Every structure is written in structure tokens, then in C-alpha cells.
Amino acid sequence: MLCNNCKTDNLPGAKFCRHCGQPLASATPSSSFSAPPEQGYSTPPGQGYTPPNQTAAKGGGKGKIILAACLSGGGILLAVAIAVICIMIFSPKTPVTPAQPTDAATAAVTDALINPAAPTTAPQFNPYPNVIDDSGVLSDSQRGELQTRIERKMSSCGKDIILLLTDAPEGELADYAEAKCSDKCGSNAIFPVIDTDKGKSAYSVLGSASKLMTKEVKSSAVSKSDELLKGGDRFGASKKLIDMIPDTEKQAKAFSFKPVNGAGQVVYVKSNSSHTSGKLTLVDWTGDLPSIEYEIDTVYLGMDGITENPREGLSATPKGTFKLGFAFSDHSLNTKLNTRLITDGDVWVDDPDSAYYNTLQHGSTSNSKWKSAEDTYSIFSSGRNDACIFIEHNGDGYTRGAYNKGSCMYVSGKNRDVTKSYGDVNLTADQMRKLLSYLDASKNPYIVIS
């Protein structure tokens, strides 16, 4: 019997085509089974099925049997199991990558969890790196103040500074400071050190710092520091050692001059080999650090040089340390020294026998009170001098000086004839005006002639 669907010849009496499975024209489909309308296929009882209008692929028969088995009864569970196994076997294996830390803090925590031995805290910050207190005698607030002082001083002098307070072993204290601190500083460093047990202080220096910390600077600073240590003031001594480090080489140079007890300002006149001229330097000693305020390379002294035994008739400048007295001129002066205005008739008495010897008076050059006197007004009215400062080598200019020890000794600012003198320290009028502008009576100024 010929199948109307696939044109395959079937056996007589067959109800379904042996090739495509469709009912034959003379066959009546069984009412006991019908394919679901939405599936679009029919299946004869007890047989597999073939999708309608399709040609079975080669080897497709085994697939139909397996699928039919899976769909029948307990085969469903087997199908599910096979599907799960296939997914597990053939699914691509994607390695699991742990989430990366999003910032440094998270990274630190992650690292600590992975490696418990790794440190979890940052190294402690030292707020006082330039103050080493091995003895433990300073409080935190004191170390903080010293650190601030050191930082300011380093900024001004351009050198590294480390302060050391320790109980040093026997030996040279300065050497111990250098060995202790040099690895912490550069090649130009200053190490002030205090032996807290023995109450001694010292400095050690490296490189160009030696131009600041001269022998004179060290001696002066250590002397003042040790005085404080005698009273147990280690903090005060520490401040002194820091503050007395010079800021400049010129400031260090000021320490080469010897201070005068009680004098805030000192005029130093250092004579040359002939002692008839020299150099003048004004140093201010009012602070911890002396400062050179004014220098004159050449001033002129007495024609007979300098002498420790001045007297009338000797044209020599007195040698020694003397107080600077009042300034005087025929016009007002720009100075903080005490001043006297000179008028016509003012004289300076040079008669050793007079009760007015070596004082400024008003009168004639010769009278019943003195046999001789210098016409002081004429040295200004003639234009020779601009201003003078009295040197108190023999009295203060108001009361009688010692008999025949010399008179009329001045620092003289001259408008002309700036040369060797009868005993004065001669300089130009311009130089005198500059010198006067620095001098201050409240600083108790002195002059040292050597």
C-alpha cells in the first residue's frame, strides 16, 4: 500500500507507513492515542516518533530511543542527572580571583590577615630629633622649647646642631659628643654637650662650623653655661649653649675682643706696630651674642704713640680701658650719649695745679683759678673739629683729675688735618658722626686702647 505522505510502498493491510509513520489512506487512526495538537506529530502505540515533515538524520534512530527512554517513567530522573554531569564536565573553568584592596588602609589590613607577622603600626615619630637627653633630666615641654630654639638657630647660622645631655664617660667631653652625634649630622655640624653628672659643658664641631665656633666663642659660651650648671640649671645651660652659637662669621669675630665688665658697648682701638695709628671697632655686648656695629680701618693716635703713663707735655695716647664720657660740639649731635653744647668762652683746664684740672669750664684761658686752659670753643668755630667725645682716663670732665696724669684726651672727629695727634684718637668728621649714631649712654660705653 502506497503512502500518500512519503510515497513509500507498504505491506497490504498496514495501517501506518513503515517509513514515515503516517497513517495510510485506508487506515483508521486509533482513538486510544492522539498527538497533542500543539506538538504537530502522531505516534502509533508502542513505537517511537518522528517529527512531522522531517527526514531522520543518519544515526538518529539511537537518539530517538534514548530520548523516548528518558521521557518514559523513571527515565526522567536519569536525564536530569546526565544533564547535571554534562554541565559540570563541559562548563568552562573560570579561576576565582580574590578582590583587590581599594586603598592603602585596606591593603594594610589584608596584608596583616595574610601575613600576621607583618607590622601593623607605623614607626613612632620623634618630635625632638635635635635634642638627645640620655640622662632624662628634661621634661617634654623643655625638650620642645630647645628643639624650637635649635631649629631657629640652624636656620640663621646654616649649620646642623644636635644638643646632647648625658653622663659622659671619663675623657674629653667634646670628643664624646662628636662620636655620639656625628652620624646624625652632615659634614658641617655643631654639637653642644652637657655632662649632667659632672656639671660641665663643651662644644664639638665639624667642617666649616669651626669658623663660627672659634676658641673664643667656645670659651665664652662654656663659661656662661657652666655658671648655670653650678646652680643645677641644666635647662638654662642648654639654652645658653644654643643661643651663643654665632649666626655669622662676623659675629664670631666679635668674640675675639675681650668684654669689659659692665660695659654694653666697647670701642676697641688696636694700634699698629708704630703705635701712631690703628684700627677702631665698636662692639655691642648687650645680648648673649656680641655684634660688631662699626669698624674704621685707620684712625690716628699720638705722635709719641701710646703710653700707660700719660702726663702733661707728652704727645701720647693713654693706653688702657677707660669710660667714654660726654660728647661735645658747638652744634647738636645725633647720638644717645650725654652731650655738652660748646659756646664762646668754654675752655678745658690743663693746669695740673688747678682745682679744676682736666675739667670743662667757662672763662678765659688764663685767670686766678688756672694758669692755662685750652680754648675749646675755637677748635669748633675754626672748623678744625666737628665733634669730640671725652675719654675719662683721668677724671670725668666735671671733677678734678689726678695731678699731672694728662688732660684734654678725646676721640676727635676732624674736618681737616686727620693725622697724628697730641694724644687724641683722630678720625674724620663723617666717621665721628657714624660712631656717635651707634653710641648709647644707657649701654655704659667704654674705650679700650691697646
List, for residues 169-213, the tens digit of each pLDDT value: 877 888 888 888 877 787 889 999 999 999 999 999 999 999 999
Could you tell me the maximum CA-CA distance found in the chain, to the nearest angstrom? 188
pLDDT beyond 90 at 319: yes
Average pLDDT over residues 348-353: 96
Q: What is the pLDDT of residue 82?
A: 63
Q: How confident is the model at residue 2 (pLDDT cuts 50, 70, 90)?
A: confident
pLDDT beyond 60 at 74: no
237: its cell numbers: 645651660
Q: Is residue 196 a part of any domain in this protein?
A: yes
Q: What mean pLDDT, rounded, does the chain reach? A: 83
Q: What is the pLDDT of residue 117?
A: 59
Q: Is 389 within 8 Å of 325 (Cβ atoms)?
A: yes
pLDDT beyond 70 at 158: yes
Are residues 302 and 411 both part of a single domain? yes
Q: Is residue 62 a part of any domain in this protein?
A: no
Q: Is residue 319 a part of any domain in this protein?
A: yes
Q: Structural domain tally of the chain?
A: 2
Are residues 313 and 361 both part of a single domain? yes
Q: Is residue 102 a part of any domain in this protein?
A: no
Question: Containing domain of residue 162, as a range?
Answer: 131-254
Are residues 280 and 194 both part of a single domain? no
- DSSP structure class, residue 182: G
Domain boundary among 189, 221, 254: 254
Q: Is residue 178 a part of any domain in this protein?
A: yes
CATH value at residue 173: 3.10.310.50
Question: Which residues, including other chains, have CB under 8 Å from residue 412's CB and lie 6 or more apart?
Answer: 385, 388, 421, 424, 425, 426, 427, 432
Q: What is the pLDDT of residue 123?
A: 65
Are residues 165 and 217 both part of a single domain? yes
Are residues 213 and 312 both part of a single domain? no
Are residues 403 and 281 both part of a single domain? yes
Between CA 305 and CA 300 the distance in angstroms is 9
Are residues 246 and 272 both part of a single domain? no
Are residues 178 and 135 both part of a single domain? yes
Are residues 294 and 430 both part of a single domain? yes
Q: Is residue 148 a part of any domain in this protein?
A: yes
E strand or H helix at 247: none
Are residues 141 and 248 both part of a single domain? yes
Q: Is residue 434 a part of any domain in this protein?
A: yes
Domain boundary among 254, 284, 312: 254
421: its cell numbers: 695727634
What's the pTM value of the predicted model, to 2 decimals?
Answer: 0.68
Are residues 178 and 208 both part of a single domain? yes
Are residues 147 and 204 both part of a single domain? yes
